[in-house]
Amino acid sequence: MIRVAVGKTLGAFALDIAFESDGGVIALFGPSGSGKSATIGLIAGLTRPDRGVIALDGRALVDTAAGTFVPPHARRIGLVFQDAQLFPHLSVKHNLLFGRWFAPKAERRIALEPVVDTLGIGHLLDRRPGRLSGGEKQRVAIGRALVSSPRLLLMDEPLAALDAERKQEILPLIERLRDEFGIPIVYVSHAVEEVARLAARVVVLAHGRVAAAGSVEDVFGGSVAQAGESRFRRASFVTARVAGHDETWGLTELAHSAGTIWLAGRAGPPGRDCRVVIRATDVTLATERPSGLSVRTVLHGTIARIEADAGPLASIVVDLDGHGHVLASATRKALDELRLAPGHPVFALIKTVALDEQSVALAPASAPA
Ligand SMILES: Nc1ncnc2c1ncn2[C@@H]1O[C@H](COP(=O)(O)OP(=O)(O)OP(=O)(O)O)[C@@H](O)[C@H]1O
């Protein structure tokens, strides 16, 4: 359990935040400059708060009123940054073993072998970091943090420097370490896709304050959490159930009460709950059920809210039959011409080609998504 309630002034920037997490992955989400990395620095002990408390499993790491400040190396917190920050003169194996020095012998819960297996880095052990790709380096950085048997893992945009393909290789590995090693993780990102796949809870920061906090479903139920994001990055997700695979056409059918969602590719066994991430720019709205279109996914819903940008665009939050929301981007002109307003019924159309396996996060086999 991590509890954070701190204030810190950094030049002209004032951070004043409070949140708690009792395990799993909690995401810190928010636009650039909102204070995500500053928060990570405070939890790791790289900086000291001006006031407040940070406690891990009931033990104060910082308590300014009591004069407590546990130094970073004694916090037992693993860190993974965007840039892997490996020791260039050490082999991969010795980089990994370096992490162990920080764990007292009695607390070395995590052995090297399962970490190497999970991350698929066994063939790299004798290499130096200079001879690794970006994705390989990042796996080793994650491994080094894990073998220190940390009480908490802080991951600050660990995928931001990787291309889309590398990201898709590493995301499942982070899912596995979340599920197999049981270490609580604070995960910083401004990618909705990553947050939707990994996190149970999210804290949205804006201008150094907590703008929203709660379950991922609740916080991303509308577009408010993404107000600072460009229209190309805005996304929502819906929880659906894998209904089956169409082997002839290579499609997966996902059941939702608002309609069937089709995605190109295979995603999970039938019966499994999942979250489907849908970019707002991939959603088209229609006032009538369309015919003669190639679009396969037609979800019926009701306009819950319209948020007009300063420019020509608007974000439309569509309530899906009381089971989640989908976010659409449209021009204000189109809204005007279709006379769309809150309370109106609409159909949300999503191209099948906009969704594939990578748009889907499977819920653990036994738990709801
Ligand atoms: N040491 C410092 N001195 C002065 N200002 C600082 C210092 N460190 C951070 N800041 C300021 O604090 C604010 C928050 O920075 P922070 O790095 O936490 O943002 P972020 O949400 O992680 O952004 P990004 O997504 O771009 O990494 C920024 O305005 C930054 O310029």
pLDDT tens for each residue of the chain, 369 residues long: 999 999 999 999 999 999 999 888 999 998 889 999 999 999 999 999 999 999 999 999 999 999 999 999 899 999 999 888 899 999 999 999 987 777 777 777 788 898 898 889 999 999 999 999 989 999 999 999 988 889 999 999 999 888 878 888 888 888 888 888 888 999 998 887 788 888 989 999 999 999 889 888 778 765 545 655 666 667 888 889 999 999 999 999 999 999 999 999 888 889 988 888 898 899 999 999 998 888 999 999 999 999 886 789 888 999 998 888 899 999 999 999 999 999 999 999 999 988 888 788 776 554 444
Residue nearest to atom 26 of ligand 1 (CA): 32
Question: Residue 236: which residues within 8 A CB-CB, separation 6 or more?
Answer: 192, 220, 221, 223, 277, 278, 280, 317, 324, 325, 326, 327
- Strands 25-29, 185-189: pairing kind: parallel
**Residue 264 CB coordination number (10 Å):** 18
Question: Residue 3: which residues within 8 A CB-CB, separation 6 or more?
Answer: 20, 53, 54, 55, 56
Give the predicted TM-score (pTM) of the model.
Answer: 0.80
Percentage helix, strand, coil for the chain under 3-state DSSP, each rounded to 5: 25, 35, 35
Q: How far is ligand 1, taken at its centre, from the CA of residue 15, in Å?
A: 10
Contact yes or no for 362/268 (Cβ under 8 A): yes
Q: What is the length of the chain?
A: 369
Q: Does residue 236's CB lie within 6 angstroms of at least one atom of ligand 1? A: no
Complete domains list, the chain, with CATH: 2-219 (3.40.50.300), 235-362 (2.40.50.100)
Q: Does residue 8's CB lie within 6 angstroms of at least one atom of ligand 1? A: no
Q: Is 96 helix (H, G, I), strand (E, B) or coil?
A: helix
Q: Please report how the helices 134-147 and 92-100 are oriented relative to each other, as an axis angle in degrees rounded to 10.
A: 30
